[in-house]
Amino acid sequence: MKAASPSKASEQSRRFRSLRRKVFLPFLFLIVALTVAAIYGSIHLAEHSFQNSADERLAATKEVLYREFKKHEIILQTYAVIMQQFQSLSERFHDEAEFGILQDRLFNTLEKSNIITTFYPADIRGLIQQESLVTLFDQVRRSGQPRFRYSNEFGGVPVLMVAAPIYTGNELSRILLLQTAMGETFLRSVTSALNVSAALMTPEGKTIVKSKPEFTDVDLTPAQINLIGSGQSLFLDHDIGTDPERHLFTMIPLGRSDRIILSLEASLKSTTEMQSETILRMILAMSAVIILGTVFYFRRISQVTKPAIELRNATEAISRGNLSYRIMDVGDDELGQIATSFNKMAADLESSYQERASQDIAAAIVQEEQKMQLVLKKKQLER
């Protein structure tokens, strides 16, 4: 039998390489597409998650500050009612020693609670210069009810105050003013644990106090102020170079007479750095998984195509006359079935070849014997 020519062997090799390329290239394109999609999705998910984290911190700080204001509001209003009752009873029990002791204890309790108590005449026009206080007292006289105000016109330290009417008989005689400091120290004590800065603003958007001097002032448009005034929270992004910030604005009502804008600021610098590090780790992890997956897939492809290599080698061996060559690595897939059929075909071919060879040898022996007999007969005739 003739051996396969080099051109045919080269053609078979090219065909095998083409088969492997046809199997591997679609997988490679699919992996690249999935990698790009996974990286894009991971970046989008990380950005969304970190922004949600900042928003959650801002929302949590808003709730804490809102509750703190309401708590101080209730405390001031409660003490104002108690003081009103004491003043109404003072006319009847002012000569009682126990009443005076109770009143002193009440004033001491207010002092220990950092609440300043002041009594003013019913009409203070011309007596004080703080216009906000004059307006507050006018509201008290008109409504006959306690009214709240937040202001920084008293010594530069912002205070939350409540003004309550004091009656003598049915006549408004005095106005009680209770004040508690709620300025920079108060804001810092509440917001520092959450890594958030805060500021309090007038309903017009003018800053009253900040928890930190470096707090960024953001100018609000009239439309934004109206939105906040309607009771909705407003989130804004503010970029300063490499230090992006996330802001939250919301309105805090003070009783029925005043309200202030709460401005919260969360720096996204550390969050951005963490986000970049997280994205880098995700990309490295995905790249490692993809590389390992590609290596594993390539090895599997090599195992799958190994019977094809064996078939090629067996075909070349048989073409060179080696009919005893058999494919040893026979799998249980389609290529394994082909290899089994090929081995059976090779065995049948070898058996047929050996049978034909045996017949040829037997015929040759018979011919030789006939020749020998003819030679012997000739010799006998010659004698």
Q: What is the pLDDT of residues 121-139, one digit of tens each?
A: 887 777 777 777 888 888 9
Average pLDDT value for residue range 76-98: 78
Question: Are 54 and 197 in the same domain?
Answer: yes
125 and 253 together in one domain: yes
- The answer to whether residue 194 is domain-embedded is yes
What is the phi/psi pair of residue 328, to 5°? Answer: -85, -40
Residue 163: what pLDDT? 93
Instruction: Report pLDDT for 97.
Output: 65
Last residue of a domain, one of 205, 236, 271: 271
Average pLDDT over residues 359-376: 80
Note whether 161 and 178 are within 8 A (CB).
yes
In a domain, 124, yes or no: yes
Contacts of 3 (CB under 8 A, 6+ apart): 316, 319, 320, 321
Co-location of 90 and 153 in the same domain? yes
Place 252 in a pLDDT band, splitting at 50, 70 and 90. Answer: very high
Do 217 and 343 reside in the same domain of the chain? Answer: no
Tell whether 143 and 209 lie within a shared domain: yes
Residue 284 has pLDDT above 90, yes or no: no
The helix (run of H) or strand (run of E) holding residue 325 is none
User: Has residue 278 been placed in a domain?
Assistant: no
Structural domain ending residue among the three candidates 271, 287, 303: 271
Q: Are residues 216 and 109 in the same domain?
A: yes
* Alpha-carbon separation of residue 275 from 41, 60, 184, 270, 348 (angstroms): 14, 21, 31, 8, 69
One domain for residues 348 and 236: no
Task: Name the β-bridge partners of 234.
Answer: 249
Residue that terminates a domain, selected from 271, 304, 335: 271
Q: What percent of the chain has pLDDT over 70?
A: 83
Whether 245 is covered by a domain: the verdict is: yes
| Residue 55 belongs to a domain | yes
Residue 209 and residue 66 share a domain: yes
Give the lowest-confidence range in 72-81, 142-151, 351-360. Answer: 351-360
Q: What is the pLDDT of residue 349?
A: 78
Please report the pLDDT score of residue 47 as a whole number: 63
Whether residue 88 is found in the same domain as residue 226: yes
pLDDT value of position 20: 65
Q: Is the pLDDT of residue 99 over 90?
A: no
Specify whether the CB–CB gap between 89 and 103 falls below 8 A. Answer: no
User: Residue 43 above 90 pLDDT?
Assistant: no
Q: Is residue 119 part of a domain?
A: yes
Residue 42 has pLDDT above 70, yes or no: no
Residues with Cβ within 8 Å of residue 39, at least 6 apart in sequence: 282, 283, 286
Please tell me the total count of domains within the chain. 2
Average pLDDT of every residue of the chain: 80
The overall pTM is greater than 0.75 = no
Going by pLDDT thresholds of 50, 70 and 90, the confidence category of residue 319 is: confident
Residue 275: predicted pLDDT = 63
Residues 248 and 186 in one domain: yes
Residue 298 lies in a domain: no
DSSP 231: T
Q: How far apart are the first and last CA of the chain?
A: 48
Residue range(s) defining the domain that contains residue 95: 45-271
| Window from 15-24, 263-272, 352-361 with minimum mean pLDDT | 15-24
* Residue 10 belongs to some domain of the structure: no
φ, ψ for residue 122, nearest 5 deg: -60, -35
Per DSSP, helices labelled H in the chain are 6-93, 97-112, 131-143, 184-191, 222-229, 269-319, 334-382
Residues 244 and 345 occupy one common structural domain: no
Q: Residue 19: pLDDT band by 50, 70, 90 thresholds?
A: low
- The SS3 of residue 206 is coil
Mean per-residue pLDDT, 42-56: 67
Radius of gyration of the chain (CA): 49
Range of weakest confidence among 11-25, 171-185, 324-338: 11-25
Q: Is the pLDDT of residue 18 over 60?
A: no
pLDDT bracket for residue 181 (50, 70, 90): very high
Identify whether residues 219 and 352 lie together within a single domain. no
Q: Is the four-CA dihedral 284, 287, 291, 293 of positive or negative sign?
A: positive
Which residue do the tokens 């004698």 mark? 383
